[in-house]
Each structure stands twice: as C-alpha cells, then as structure tokens.
Amino acid sequence: MKTKLIAIALFSATAVAIAAYPAIEAYDFGKAPAKPLIDIKQQIASQPKVDVVFVLDTTGSMGGMIEAAKEKIWSIASNMASAQPAPEIRIGLVAFRDRGDNFITKVHDLSADMDSMYASLMDYQAAGGGDGPESVNKALDDALNKISWSQEQNTYKVIFLVGDAPPHMDYPNERRFPEIMADAKNRQIIVNTIQCGRDGSTRKSWIDIAQLGAGEYFQVDQTGSALVLGTPFDKKIAHLSKELDDTRLYYGTAQQKEKQRLKLDAAEKLHAGSSVESRARRAEYNLSKSGESNFLGENELIDDVASGRIELDGIDVKSLPSAMQAMAPAEQKLLITEKAEQRKLIRQEIEALSQKRSAYLEQRVKELGSSEDSLDHKIQSAVKDQAAKNGLDYEGSKMRY
C-alpha cells in the first residue's frame, strides 16, 4: 500500500507541488518514504511556464474595463491553465495613469500567488486622465524592466496592453515605444494590445505597438466586451471555496509565516469584497493543476505531510501553526488526517458543481450567439497561437467563462 501511495504522489505532479490526496488515514506519519521522492525543483524547472503581465490604463474613462478585469481575470487564468501540459502560471500587473495624476505607474510583480495580485486589483477605481494621451510609454518600460521575467527558455512571456488613449510622445527623458518594443523582441516578450473604444489615434498607436511587439491588436467596446455570466451554482461554489481555504495550515520560520499571513489576508479580502461569480471562477482555477500553487502557496502543512514531502515528526515545534504547538503528536496527526479528508470531500463537491456550471455556461454562450468578439475569446486566441512555440497545446480545450 505504501509503495502504491508513493507512486500516486510521484505521477500527480502540479505547478508547484505534487497534488496527492491518497487515503491519508493509511499514511504512516512516523516513517520516511520507502524510496526517494521526485526532486520538486527539477520537476518545476521542466514544466512549461506562462508569464503574463497586464498593463492596464486606470484613468477615469476605463471604469467599465477595470470592473470587467476584476470579474474575468480568474477565467482568463483558467483558460491559460487548460494547456497540455499544464503550465506554471505567473501573473503581474502594471497600472498606469499620467503625469499630474495621483500616480503614474504602480507595478505588481509576477507571482503564482494570484490572490495577492487580485487583492491589489480590487483596490483600483478609475480616476484621473481625461486629457488625451497617457503615460503608456512609461508603463511599457516598467513592464519590461521592473518585472521579474523568467529567464528559462520554455516560458511564454507576454504583455497585454489595455487602454483607450495613445501614448505621450512629447515627454522628454522618457523612452518611447519603438525602442521599448525592440527590447521586448530581443527578450522574446510578446506585446499584444487591446484598445477600448474607437479613438483613431489610439488605434494607430496600438496597431504600431502590437506590430513592433510581435503581437496582435484587438479592439473591444469601452467596457471590455467581456462575457460576465452568472450561474445558479456560483453561490454554493463560492461558499465551498471559502471552506476549502479554511483547511490550509502553514508552517515555517517567522518570516515565512508573515508571508503566509499576507496571503491568507488577501484571500479573506476577496471572499469579503469580490462578487460571488468571481469567487466561483477562482475556485475553478484553484482546482486546476496550474492553479494549485495559488491555493496552496508555500509550506502548506496538510499537503506536504500527506504527499510525503516532509515528516511531521521532523518539523520543529516552533515552526508549526500556533494552534498545533501545544498538541501531543497523536493529536497533531489526527488534525492533519481530519483536515486532509475534509479537503478531499470539499474538492470533490466543487468539482461536481463546476462541471454543472461549465455545462450551464456553454449552453448560455450558445444562446447568446458568437462569443468571438468577447475579451475572453480574443485573449485566449492570442495565447493559443503564441504559446504553441513554447510547447503549450490548447487544441481541444474548452473556453472557461
């Protein structure tokens, strides 16, 4: 039985961890695995990667698009996660306005921790602007040079520039997009552009940027042309997603625990402040192989013990969650067993409801007619074509909404 459990763990690799949920009650917590486990770092290094940065205009006219981004970022991530093999996904954000506004750019670096990125996105409200060109050049330059892009060869690296106003070409001491796009091309970072609205000068600039950035140009309406659809299953999925989050326990140093606390705070913020539909989309992403790194984060105790990557007896007591430190070893093992079983059952329920949700949405999209003009479809069509060069196959994958 023990060898069988280890074999299951070895062949259930995910973006960051081995997603193994065998019958944990059969796991012998007191003994080391019978043979060495896969080197997780080596496994992750061989996995295809997706680094995507959204460069988003947050001036006053972009309110509808910003709200669409808050609703759709999880389904966009789920679509990216649907490739074979499942990639490791990191997402970043550069929000921009213009000189004279309360900020010019704000950079949120690439991370597999989408919860924390989303918690930052939740704070953005459209404001400022209104005077024509914006600081597009500065935003693109920051996206290139203030983001920790992967240096690995098997990485699809892409920027989506989203906005409705052209770049200032009159600011002194600022690099302009032809030079920035040349750098992006040399670093194999593709730049796609999504124009909101129909301003003629923006269209020209966005087409030029996409051509120089080896990307594609798309035009959507001012609110983003996103398919923001709800289902009868969203509320229950959102509730179960919160219960699933509550099964997480973290261990490590004081510094690691502080990082974990910030991640948990971000999850609490989105449960309290984002829509039911958005939380249902997040649940679907977290259950994907790519999304498990967002759900688990680093040093998640239940998964690490259940998969055999660590031995509970080998963890310093001070590194354990505070609630477990005073427990006897038998109580600790019982708690982990119970949490793991609870997690397995919640996941199964979410998966069953998600299948019903997907079928419902597929029917709704058919009733609405063609979805090819939607933001969702346009982004995924670009990803499908461009990521193939990095070994990612999206043939046969269904659109997630």
DSSP assignments along 196-231, one per residue: ES--HHHHHHHHHHHHHTT--EEEE-TT--------
Short-list 212, 59, 224, 234, CA closest to 130: 59
Same domain, 81 and 21: no
Report yes or no: 159 and 140 within 8 Å, Cβ to Cβ: yes
Domain-embedded: residue 168: yes
Residues 33 and 61 placed together within one structural domain of the fold: no
| The residue to which tokens 């966005």 are assigned | 206
Range of the domain at 122: 49-227+371-390
* 105 three-class SS: strand
Q: In whole angstroms, what separates CA 221 from the centre of its chain?
A: 25
**In this structure, what are the phi and psi dihedrals at residue 197, rounded to the nearest 5 degrees?**
85, -165
Total structural domains within the chain: 2
> Is the same domain home to 15 and 104?
no
277 plus 318 within the same structural domain = yes
pLDDT at position 128? 83
pLDDT per residue, tens digit, the chain (401 aa), is 434 333 333 333 333 333 333 333 333 433 334 334 444 444 555 689 999 999 999 999 999 999 999 999 999 999 999 999 999 999 999 999 999 999 999 999 999 999 999 999 999 999 887 778 999 999 999 999 999 999 998 899 999 999 999 999 999 999 999 999 999 999 999 999 999 999 999 999 999 999 999 999 999 999 888 888 999 999 999 999 999 999 999 999 999 999 999 999 999 999 999 999 999 999 999 999 999 999 999 999 999 999 999 999 999 999 999 999 999 999 999 999 999 999 999 999 999 999 999 999 999 999 988 777 888 889 999 999 999 999 999 998 889 99
* CA distances from residue 151 to 49, 157, 170, 343 in whole angstroms, order as listed: 11, 10, 33, 35
Query: Is 83 found in the same domain as 8?
Result: no
| 163 and 221 both lie in a single domain | yes
Q: What is the pLDDT of residues 4-58, one digit of tens each?
A: 333 333 333 333 333 333 333 333 433 334 334 444 444 555 689 999 999 999 9
Query: pTM for this one?
Result: 0.87
Do 240 and 215 sit in the same domain of this protein? no
Q: Is residue 401 situated within a structural domain?
A: no
CATH code where residue 191 lies: 3.40.50.410
193 and 63 part of one domain: yes
Cβ atoms within 10 Å, residue 204: 11
Residue 395 lies in a domain: no
Looking at the fold, whether 153 and 25 belong to one and the same domain comes out as: no
69 and 6 together in one domain? no
Q: pLDDT tens digits for 372-401? A: 788 888 999 999 999 999 999 999 888 999
Phi, psi of 264 (to 5 degrees): -65, -40
Looking at the fold, whether 378 and 249 belong to one and the same domain comes out as no
Confidence (pLDDT) at 45? 56
Three-state SS for 185? helix
Residue 333 belongs to some domain of the structure: yes
In a domain, 93, yes or no: yes
* Same domain (yes/no): 383, 285: no
Assess if residue 124 is contained within a domain.
Answer: yes
Cα angle value 395/400/401 (rounded, 5°): 150
Task: Tell whether 200 is covered by a domain.
Answer: yes
Q: What is the pLDDT of residue 341?
A: 97
Distant-in-sequence, close-in-space partners of 290: CB < 8 Å, separation ≥ 6: 14, 15, 77, 80, 81, 86, 87, 88, 89
Q: Is residue 37 part of a domain?
A: yes
